[in-house]
Structure 1
Amino acid sequence: EAILRGRVALPTEAQVKVMTVHKSKGLEFDAVFLPDLDVELCSTNKLFVLRGSDPCQAPDGVLRYMNAKLQTLLPDDWQRAFTLDKERGINESLCLLYVAMTRARQALYMTARPTSGKPLQSLGSLLQSTLAGGTQCTEPEAVLYELGSATWYRSKPSPPEGDASSPPAEQATRLETQIALRTDTESAPLRGLRVAAPSSLVAPHVPIPLVRAFSISHSVGATHGTLVHALFEQVNWLEDFRFDLALLRRVALASVEPEALRHVSLDAVLGEFAEQLKLSSVQAALSQQRYQQAQFGQVPDSVEIDTEREVSLIIGDKLIVGTIDRLAVLMKDGRPYAAEIFDFKTDQWDAKQPKKWLKQRAEHHRPQLEIYAHVVSEMFNLPRSSIATYLIMLASDDLVLCPP
């Protein structure tokens, strides 16, 4: 009743604004407080779960929601549907948390309830696990993580004193501000990290001529590379792969914009892919036979394959974001003990100087592979010596090991 009768100032008028995360999208504030983080990562307060193979199509089944114990009695396809529904819910919660955490210009304050015993599946517990190194605090008002200046507000100019009878919005005075174009972007203050591709570490400041950026040949090369990677993404093992031309055509069409196919022959790319599957380098990397012999000193019990795995790594003031074309994680006794990273390259081959060309390409792509190896090392708790990185040079049919 008190909540219903209470009045909250409109966000456009009050100096202290109270709003939902959805309402805050696109807005910025000097300080943001997130007091309500004790919400479940994935809500179980739902009525139905949908089943379907394509999220863009109508579902082929609907089932009433049930608890985890009852879910284990369902057929495999329905258990998978419940798992996907939970993953979608967690993803939506994390997206909402990202929006909330990126509204602050100067300071972000997040509070959560102290936990004891088993960690809860809540946003607050997630933040405690990540920011506090897994420490679950039971003491009230304890600071688990702090970064930056706690007295940031002292550097802000104090607002001029106004008539106490006038509302806060009328007390504010306009400050004269001079706006100048900043030409040195590297020295500009950052709200967050600069997002960059792994290739930026090789030649971060090499400008691309405008005529090349908009050239048809440059666009054709990029489209061709995208198509080749999309097609190889469909291959887990060569022994199990079936060359379904209709399916591969749909995959290719979904991977690029229709406008990009104006200057690329899709039939030619599909035919080229069929021939690439026969290359000795591809056969050596994508075959199950590779792991039927000792790798890193022992024969793996199983190998987990992940294609087009998105990864990220913070280096300095940059967030390096990339995609591992093919990741093979070698398992022994149910635990990973080594990994192999494969990167498909469609670089134009220099037939006149093949050895020199291979050496130059390996050196050029080495920083990118090292980033991937570092991320995989962190993900699976593997030493760098247990991770091998390879380039699959499709133009020359070479499988190139790139040691650190």
Structure 2
Amino acid sequence: ESIRSQCSARDRLRMSQLVSTGWQFDETGSLNPCDFIRLLENSRFQKKRKAPVRVMTIHQSKGLEFDCVVLPELDTSLFKAPEAAAGSPATGEPADRVCVWVNRSLRQLLPDNLQAAFSETIGQKVAESLCLFYVAMTRARRCLVMLSPPMEGGKPPKTFAGLLLAALSDKTQAGPSETIWETGDPQWFVERPVAAAKSRGARAASVADAAAVPASAPAGAQSGTRRPVAASGRILLSPMPDGRRRGLARSAPSRHDQTTLTLPVLAPAAPRQVRGRGRGAAASAAGVGAAAVVSAAESVEPRIRGILLHGWFELLQWLDQEPEDQSLLDAAMRLQIPVETAQALLPAFRRLLLSDSVRRTFDRATAGAATVFRPWLPQLASGEARLVVDRERPFVLLERSQLIRGTIDRLVQVKLGSRVVAADIVDFKTDHVSGEVGEWIRGRVEYYGSQLLEYRRAVARICRLDPAHVQARLLLLQADAVVEVG
């Protein structure tokens, strides 16, 4: 208390924390001062409030925003040599060649495929650095200040500062205290009264008019300061050569990506009784497989029914490993589908498992009845080959300057050792049958055919297979039919 008046607020906080820690240490019964010092060194003391200036790494700043962000160390190289270089046949595929990192002079002595791996690794590392730089710049809400040491030489260095110099200025060097580029209001931190607009339209017009007024130059700005043509502060990128646009075009084989979901809550439906016992009961249940989904809960929205059935079939590897009801309900909860809706569809799902198309597709003994697997059935029976099942298998491929991405419901592969020799794609569809069944099936095959062919090409590339060794099938649950596509 005698020194409180001579301490700052921070010192008083630290003193109170020291005293509090001393009382805690006193309860341990130790009289050794060294133990108390070690306790202080290993303890972390929180501040009562956040500091007005916070210092952190770019990774630590992810997800945060600040009124003003200062990036003081932009002389960092865009590329730091890793321990090894790796190359892959295509984007998204696993690496097929690796080499210890060597300098450029030794790199020229390597085979072409390893030199390509070095180029690919450099491109990936530079892209990662640029993404990190983007994260750093976008943490600022109102002001972004980027600092770098002077840059001298014939061309900009291969650093973040050199990148900014080349992008925002025609110069190849920058001297001490020189401003390379600036825009916006230098007095952004000064609060100004805002006149109330008569309407939202008038307010929008006033904002647009204000954006069209160039910002005044701050005091002490260099005469060589370059400002963008657009007064709003936007940097207009130059057009790509040959009419190409920046970035990759993206596509998804599925035509049903843009859908709004609603989750109805239903009362549990009483399961229908299937008369008979043993094999006769199974045959009777299989006969109603096509109508099972509708009969269980007719009022369930079709999209919700499809999501839930896909989630449940994802749990099913083979028919001899049927999931328990509780596992199915847990899966519905993960999909954020009400338990009442899941309970209403449980009997229908069990009946679907007895339908002929599902039993053939999920029969381990016949490898899912896939025709592409027939040459390998002896090896599968002897154990020389094995079946590997991937459910909800995502993929991303680069093809003809287009990024193709999708998710395969079920992918079964035959492997000899670590090599894939054949693959079977199964896509589940829960579309409602309308009209004549045969005509409806032909329409569904035509509608989903391009999607399955994209999946087939993707699997052939990923597994390095001849497309003839990849089979794509459409499992139409409502029609109790499985149809090969292509």
**Inter-partner Cα distance in structure 2 for 1:194 and 1:323:** 18
Correspondence for 1:312 among 383, 389, 396: 396
Does the 8 A contact of 1:128 with 1:136 survive in 2? no
Structure 2: gaps (5+ residues): 1-55, 66-70, 108-114, 127-155, 157-162, 183-220, 235-242, 265-298
Mean CA deviation greater in 171-180 or 364-373:
171-180
Contact 1:33–1:110 (CA under 8 A) maintained in structure 2: no
Which segment drifts farther, 274-283 or 319-328? 319-328
Shift of residue 380, structure 1, vs aligned partner: 2.1
User: Counterpart amino acid of 1:398?
Assistant: A
Structure-2 separation of matches of 1:309 and 1:34: 39
CA distance in 2, matches of 1:378, 1:196: 17
Distance 1:276 1:219, change over 3 A: closer
Q: After TM superposition, what 4+ stretches of structure 1 lie above 4 angstroms from structure 2?
A: 18-27, 32-35, 126-133, 151-157, 159-173, 212-219
TM-score, normalised to structure 2, is: 0.48
The RMSD of aligned alpha carbons is: 4.7
Instruction: Specify whether residues 213 and 135 from structure 1 end up closer, same or farther in structure 2 by C-alpha distance, changes over 3 A only.
Output: closer
Quote the sequence identity (%): 21
CA contact (8 A) 1:392 1:400 kept: yes
1:43-92 residue CA offsets vs partner (Å, 9 max, x unmatched): xxxxxxxxxxxxxxxxxxxxxxxxxxxxxxxxxxxxxxxxxxxxxxxxxx
Q: Which residue of 1 aligns with 2:215?
A: none
Cross-structure match for 2:230: 177
Residue pairs, 1:129-278, within 5 angstroms: 134=97, 136=99, 139-141=102-104, 144-145=118-119, 157-158=169-170, 165-166=177-178, 170-171=221-222, 172-177=225-230, 189-190=245-246, 192-200=247-255, 220-242=301-323, 244-255=324-335, 257=336, 261=338, 265-278=341-354
How far off its partner does 1:145 sit?
1.9
Matched positions, count: 284
1:110 is aligned, of 79, 82, 90, to 79
User: What pairs with 1:294-305 in structure 2 (closer than 5 Å)?
Assistant: 295-299=373-377, 300=380, 301-305=385-389
With over 3 angstroms needed to count, the CA separation of the structure-2 counterparts of 1:162 and 1:224, relative to structure 1, is: same
CA pair 315-19 structure 1, distance change in 2 beyond 3 A: same
Q: Secondary structure at the match of 1:112?
A: coil
Give yes or no for contact 2:388–2:412 (8 Å, CA) kept in 1. Answer: yes
Which amino acid is the alignment partner of residue 170 of structure 2?
S
Measure, in 2, the Cα distance between the counterparts of 1:33 and 1:389: 53
* Cα distance, 1:189 vs structure 2: 4.3
CA distance in 1, matches of 2:395, 2:76: 28
Task: Supply the distance in 1 between the matched residues of 2:309 and 2:330 (Cα, whole angstroms).
Answer: 13
Residue identity in the other structure for 2:432:
Q
Cα distance between partner residues in 2 of 1:385 and 1:296: 13
Question: Contact 1:129–1:135 (CA<8 Å) still a contact in 2?
Answer: no
Q: Are the counterparts in 2 of residues 305 and 328 from structure 1 also a CA contact under 8 Å? A: yes
Deviation at 1:398, TM superposition (A): 0.1
What's the counterpart of residue 330 of structure 1?
414
Q: Return the letter of the residue paired with 1:134.
A: R
Residue 442 of structure 2 aligns to a residue in which SS? helix
Provide the C-alpha distance between the structure 2 equivalents of 1:174 and 1:313, rounded to a whole number of angstroms.
40
Aligned partners of 1:241 and 1:315: how far apart in 2? Answer: 38
Deviations 1:126-178 (A, max 9, x none): 46998897262664135732779xx9987865269999655657544543416
Q: Distance in 2 between matches of 1:288 and 1:317?
A: 39
Cα deviation for residue 239 of structure 1 reads 1.3
What's the CA shift for 1:222?
A: 2.4
Aligned residue runs from structure 1 range 72-111, under 5 A: 109-111=78-80
Query: What TM-score, normalized to structure 1?
Result: 0.56
Correspondence for 2:452: 369
